[in-house]
Amino acid sequence: MNRRTLPRLAALATTLTILTTGCGDLMDNPYNHTDDEIAEAAALLPTLPSLEDTEQQITETVVQIADAATALAPELQWEWRRDRTQSGCGGAFAKTDGLEIRLQMYVSLTPISDADWPRILQAARDIAAPLGITQLTVRVDKPGDHDVVLTSEDGTRIAFGSNVRAVISAQTGCRLPAERADPTP
Residue 106: which CATH number? 3.30.2030.20
Query: In this predicted structure, what is the pLDDT of residue 10?
Result: 47
Note whether 176 and 116 are same-domain residues: yes
Note whether 99 and 157 are same-domain residues: yes
Note whether 110 and 57 are same-domain residues: yes
Note whether 170 and 120 are same-domain residues: yes
Residue 34 lies in a domain: no
Query: By the 8 A CB rule, do 82 and 136 touch?
Result: no
Residue 118 lies in a domain: yes
Note whether 24 and 52 are same-domain residues: no
Neighbouring CB atoms inside 10 A of 142's CB total: 8
Write b or e for each residue in 90-126: b if 16 or more Cβ atoms lie within 10 A of its Cβ, otherwise e: eebbebbbbbbbbbbbbbbebbbeeebbeebbebbbe
Residue 35 lies in a domain: no
Give 10-residue mean pLDDT values along the chain (185 residues). 51 45 46 83 92 97 98 97 94 92 97 97 98 96 97 94 97 92 54
Distance in angstroms (rounded) separating the CA atoms of residues 32 and 7 = 29
Per the structure, the count of domains in the chain is 2
Note whether 18 and 83 are same-domain residues: no
Distance in angstroms (rounded) separating the CA atoms of residues 58 and 67 = 14
Note whether 76 and 100 are same-domain residues: yes
Distance in angstroms (rounded) separating the CA atoms of residues 19 and 3 = 25
Note whether 57 and 20 are same-domain residues: no
Domain that holds residue 101: 44-181
One-letter amino acid at 167 equals V
Pick the closest to residue 102 from 66, 67, 51 (CA basis).
Answer: 51
Q: Write down the pTM of the prediction.
A: 0.80
Note whether 123 and 171 are same-domain residues: yes
Note whether 130 and 75 are same-domain residues: yes
Query: In this predicted structure, what is the pLDDT of residue 4?
Result: 55
Query: In this predicted structure, what is the pLDDT of residue 18?
Result: 46
Residue 36 lies in a domain: no
